[in-house]
Amino acid sequence: MLRSLLRVMVVTCCSAAAARADDSAKDLLAGDRPIEQVVDHYVDAALKAANVRPAPQADDATIMRRLSLDLVGHIPALSETADFLAASATDKKVKLVDRLLAAPSFARHQAQEFFTFLQASDDPRRAARRTPLFEYLLAGFRENRGWDRMFRDMMLPDEKDKAMRGAGEFLKSRVRDTNRLTIDASVVFLGVNVSCAQCHDHPHVSAWTQDHFYGMKSFFARSFDSGGFVAERDFGFVKYIPNKGKEKVAPVMFLTGKALDVPGLKEPSKEERKKEQERLDQGKKKKTPPAPPQFSLRAKLVETALAPGENDFFARSIVNRVWHRLFGRGLVMPLDQMHIENQASHPQLLQWLARDLVAHKYDLKRLIRGLVLSNAYARGSRWESGDMPPEQLFAVSRLRALTPMQMAVSLKVATTDPMSLTADGKELDKRLEGIERSSEGRASLFTQPGDNFQVSVSEALLFTNNSNLQRELLEGGGTLVTRLKQEPDNARRSDLAVRTVLSRPARAEEIQAISDYLQRRGDRVEAACQQIVWALLTSAEFRFNH
């Protein structure tokens, strides 16, 4: 009880400090400072204010594994870890980051991650690869398209262009349910869940009224499914009955409260209706996308969301999401509650990063690079003594459960004969792409982790007793197990197994424990090797990005 009380006090102190900092938000650090320095400046300031000394930087092997999982989506191959540990250059981490950012698997992993979050409430287990949306995202990350451009593509897809078809999936899968489209688009792109305001003015955010929900809904109210394409009318508006008062026409209003002057907020005349129907029917007949309306409300939404002075929601939301992915916690929590009454843990930092992102054309790769080069990102995940400090201080690296794809690919990387995964970039990437492709089925066995994710007993049972998984990972040629079997010395076997599966050198007591285990099974070497690899794969250390 006392502990939690103390914790609350610390939190209160921090947020008080943060609130003060926000008052002087005009004095942000200069825009030309490197992102990583700015991150550390603000994070360290909050730590100092809370009188917390952060955990030391993680060791090289841990950093290597963390970067590999975050940037390219799987644990490093044995040879990659070995090279990194052996390198002595002082800038070896920067070099590693730049190598990973340039790898083809970087674009694939980002596309995978964005695919998952864009799907929002859809079935998260749906295989991503080979879907049009994944293809679109992959192309986008390959050429490092700005996030503003991707947003525009997804809101205003040019369905005539084959390469752009995937961008339309976001709308297409939701357009039949305008409420859902409104809520999902606001959550995904603007970091705000307006669903509370559907039925009543927001209970906690006094500035949010039902107009905010119905105002956002107005932007989508003219969109509909027309023969498999997303079409938009020139007319149509949203009417609703507020809690208090009579039915009204919702204003076309952005989250900032900016209302737009919009033509067509009235019932169309017969003539107008006829003309519009002709425009839409034409497309339907030819099975081509319908011509766009003269005045597109969705285009207005994009324009408004990206306009200077209005773009805070859009920029801060994506910064917060990327931060959340890399740090296991957002600067604002929860991710869909980025409103005025829910302060960021580091308001100036969030503001600086958002400003920087806008100034650099929403370049996500640049943002990611800056964040992972910070000291805050590179801290150890162990808290040696006493209670863990509040999470929002980022004093210690937060454990993040591997996503289904990270898990599925890493399992295969860990159990493949390490000598067959050479460090030669091109060659390795080809192997990895093959592994990724064959891992989607395996990925469907795992659950997408959310905040406060819990590992299920079914997962433990699956690892413990499932014969297919055992066959895929531990049996047959070309596996780590075969390699271990060929190694006659138990200590060296143990070390190789730990290095390959856990991506770090083994500790003496681990070599001892594993060697003893092998020793007692001298009559069944293969089974024994399978069992030690199993024990490493199912350890918490493997399950998490730490």
Partner 1 sequence: MRKRFCGSGEHVISRRGFLGTMAAGGVAACADMTAIQALAAPEISAELRRNQKRCILLWLAGGASQLETWDPKPGAVTGGPFQAIQTSVPGIHISELMPRMARRLKDTAIIRSLNTRNADHNSAAEMMMRGRPREAGLNYPDLGAVLSRELGQESSPVPDYVAFYFATEGRNMAPSNPGFLGARHGAMDLYTSMIPENIRRNGISEQDHIERADLRGTLSRGFERGRSSLTIDSHSHAYSRVRGLMSSEALFDIGREPQRIRDMYGPTLFGQQTLAARRLVEAGVPFVRVGRAWWDSHGHNFETHQEMVPELDQVMCTLLDDLEQRGLLESTLVITLAEFGRTPNINSQLGRDHFASAWSCSLSGCGIRGGSVYGRSDATGQRVADGEINAARLFATIYRALGINHRKNYHVGARPIPLTDPGTEPIREVLA
Choosing from 180, 329, 355, 431, the residue that interacts with partner 1 (CB under 8 A) is 180
Find out whether 33 and 358 touch, Cβ atoms under 8 Å.
Answer: no
Of 110 and 490, nearer to partner 1 (C-beta) is: 490
Residue 510 binds partner 1, judged by CB under 8 A: yes
| DSSP state string for 503-531 | SSPPPHHHHHHHHHHHHTTTT-HHHHHHH
Contacts for 270 with CB less than 8 Å, ≥ 6 apart: none
Residue 206 binds partner 1, judged by CB under 8 A: no
Of 375 and 381, nearer to partner 1 (C-beta) is: 381
Of 22 and 459, nearer to partner 1 (C-beta) is: 459
Contact positions with partner 1 (CB under 8 A) in 84-143: 120-121
Show the binding pattern over residues 388-417: x = contacts partner 1 (CB under 8 A), - = does not: x---------xx-x----------------
Find the shortest distance in angstroms from Cβ 4 to partner 1.
11
Contact positions with partner 1 (CB under 8 A) in 348-387: 381-384
Output the CA–CA distances (angstroms, integers) from residue 215 to 183, 186, 197, 208, in the order listed: 12, 12, 11, 11
| DSSP state string for 462-475 | HHHH-HHHHHHHHS
Residue 451 binds partner 1, judged by CB under 8 A: yes
Find out whether 234 and 294 touch, Cβ atoms under 8 Å.
Answer: yes
Q: Which helix or strand (DSSP H or E) is residue 401 part of?
A: strand 400-401
Beta bridge partners of 232: 223
Choosing from 49, 82, 87, 455, the residue that interacts with partner 1 (CB under 8 A) is 455
Residue 277 binds partner 1, judged by CB under 8 A: no
Contacts for 417 with CB less than 8 Å, ≥ 6 apart: 478, 479, 480, 482, 483
Structure tokens at 77: 């191959």
Find out whether 305 and 190 touch, Cβ atoms under 8 Å.
Answer: yes
The Cα diameter of the chain in Å comes to: 89
Beta bridge partners of 458: none
Find the shortest distance in angstroms from Cβ 477 to partner 1.
19
Residue 269 binds partner 1, judged by CB under 8 A: no
The candidate with the shortest Cα–Cα distance to 428, out of 91, 146, 78, is 78
Choosing from 344, 372, 514, 529, the residue that interacts with partner 1 (CB under 8 A) is 514
Choosing from 116, 144, 179, 482, the residue that interacts with partner 1 (CB under 8 A) is 179
Of 306 and 513, nearer to partner 1 (C-beta) is: 513
Choosing from 51, 88, 90, 465, the residue that interacts with partner 1 (CB under 8 A) is 465
Residue 464 binds partner 1, judged by CB under 8 A: yes
Contacting positions for partner 1 (CB under 8 A): 120-121, 177, 179-180, 183-184, 187, 193, 195-196, 204, 333-334, 336-337, 342, 381-384, 388, 398-399, 401, 447, 449-462, 464-467, 470, 507, 509-510, 513-514, 517, 521, 527, 531-532, 534-536, 538-541, 543-544, 546
